[in-house]
Amino acid sequence: MREIVLGSGVKRAALLALLVAASGAPAPAAQAVTATATAKCTEGTFSGRFTLTYDMGTDYRLRKGRGAAGPYIADTGAMHVQVHHRVGTAQTTLLTRSKSGLRSDEAAEVPVEGTRVPRSGRAWVEVTFADRGGEKCTAEADLR
């Protein structure tokens, strides 16, 4: 019969796995999956882009929203962010945030942390980028 000798690294890994299992802590595979939805729009030379980062569990848990638009020529702009949810004909706006005073192509964050969105039905982010001169575009992206 052949004897199998395990190195100390293998022994430590096995011991760590047993301790994690005994503690009830979630294994790495059981952690939430992080996803992104990127909404883009263009109107003439004006364009905008917004990326929403969220965790996918029993619902979507929003983590971060970041976007930029431009050009704002001798002007500043704003982005208006909404997250919508619809099941059948019932639609709800779960988040409304704005960020103004943005310079051309300046990336800015919009606070979204912790907002929960049901996974049933349709969920999407809608962002309107605008400057004071009337240039604007609206972008949408589904959460999936």
pLDDT digits (tens, 9 = 90+) for 88-139: 999 999 999 999 999 988 899 999 999 999 999 999 999 999 988 777 999 9
- For residue 123, the domain's CATH number is 2.60.40.2420
- Number of domains present in the structure of the chain: 1
pLDDT at site 9: 53
Residue 29: pLDDT band with limits 50, 70, 90: very low
Element (H, E) at 3: none
pLDDT band at 59, cuts 50/70/90? very high
Has residue 115 been placed in a domain?
yes
Q: Which domain holds residue 93?
A: 32-142
CA distance 44 to 46: 5
For range 64-73, the mean pLDDT: 92
pTM: 0.76
Segment 59-66 shows an average pLDDT of 97
pLDDT at 12: 58
Q: Is residue 3 included in any domain, yes or no? A: no
Burial of 35 (0-12, 13-18, 19+ CB in 10 A): middle
* Maximal C-alpha separation, the chain: 84
Closest CA to 107 of 70, 140, 82, 62: 70
Q: Which residues contact residue 51 at a Cβ distance below 8 angstroms, ignoring those fewer than 6 apart?
A: 36, 37, 38, 39, 65, 66, 67
Cα separation values, 117 from 38, 40, 122, Å: 17, 21, 10
Tell me if 26 is assigned to some domain. Answer: no
Considering only residues 39 and 4, tell me which one the structure prediction assigns the higher pLDDT. 39
pLDDT, residue 42, reads 96
What is the per-residue pLDDT across 41-57, written as a single tens digit (0 to 9) for each?
Answer: 999 989 999 999 999 99
On whether residue 134 sits in a domain, the answer given is yes
